[in-house]
Structure 1
């Protein structure tokens, strides 16, 4: 896959107008969180954390662990479509503004660490971002060899797995 490259020839520079021009763009760009000019993946992950918390606190009878699991699966499937379509429309395989993969990946982490105290959620956030940025094997291979929306989405599921594995080991010692 092509690395994030906002200066790529033929690539569209994302803005609110582009995001609002297609529902796929709105989803892929994390409802605007991916439009941050600095660290859009981190802002997408923050959006995931805040939205998970806000929805779970506001409507706890609706946003149960089972409902979150269904939402994550549905969001992953929708993300394959949305990120694939947005990537084609932008002319870049995995543009940095596409953060729906971070949202779904971090919701998955939160599903397993909540209810957890703020410190646990904070360290989950930090480690998720580290694994997403450094892409240890096999994340890097997934990122390079799985194309389209599936590739965009799948590497963050792998980052979520690494984060959850690290937290499980941390809790066990």
Structure 2
């Protein structure tokens, strides 16, 4: 019972329509207090949860569960937390913070669904819990980079308009 609550991120993965999106959204709200404390804390928690998730997914699959079952969304939590860990709330306004968190969610979902390049290769070729969590962790990393690029471009063009 506890394993299922963990793997489904408090049962959000049990929602029949778009469980990955719901799991990611719930994970954003679960991660916000840690992000407010510090980026590093959120990243370290994502790594810790990711390691536990690999072990628990392997146990789930050994017990007869489906590989990458749609109700397992703990990998989405790891990915979206990694994406959010690129955000430094201490230097952003409230509007920028909300925008950055929303962009983290959107970019993560894009890369998690699309699975371009190495993200898709990990998803296809790496078995067990490491494959389930690995592609989402990489998608989160790429999503975080995209958020940084958007904000750098915004900052560059905003300064160009002022000058």
TM-score range, shorter chain: 0.7 to 0.9
Identify the residue that residue 21 of structure 2 maps to in structure 1.
42
1:166 aligns with 2:146: yes
Q: Aligned partners of 2:55, 2:136: CA distance in 1, in Å?
A: 16
Give the gaps of 5 or more residues in structure 1: 1-19
Q: Aligned partners of 2:17, 2:68: CA distance in 1, in Å?
A: 16
Q: 2:133 aligns with which of 153, 161, 169?
A: 153
Q: Which has the larger radius of gyration?
A: 2
Contact kept, 8 Å, 1:34 with 1:41, in 2: the verdict is yes
Identify the residue that residue 45 of structure 2 maps to in structure 1.
71
Q: CA RMSD in A?
A: 1.8
1:88 aligns with 2:62: yes
Q: Between Structure 1 and Structure 2, which shows a larger proportion of helix residues?
A: 2
1:105 aligns with 2:105: no
Query: Which 10-residue stretch deviates more, 111-120 or 33-42?
Result: 111-120
Contact kept, 8 Å, 1:29 with 1:35, in 2: the verdict is yes
What TM-score, normalized by structure 2, do the two folds share?
Answer: 0.81
Is the partner of 2:11 in helix, strand or coil?
helix
Give the gaps of 5 or more residues in structure 2: 90-95, 154-163
Identify the residue that residue 7 of structure 2 maps to in structure 1.
28
What TM-score, normalized by structure 1, do the two folds share?
Answer: 0.77
Contact kept, 8 Å, 1:24 with 1:81, in 2: the verdict is no
Contact kept, 8 Å, 1:87 with 1:95, in 2: the verdict is no
Q: Relative to 1, partners in 2 of residues 1:74 and 1:163: Cα closer, same or farther, differing over 3 Å? A: same
Count of equivalent residues: 147
Q: Aligned partners of 1:89, 1:35: CA distance in 2, in Å?
A: 19
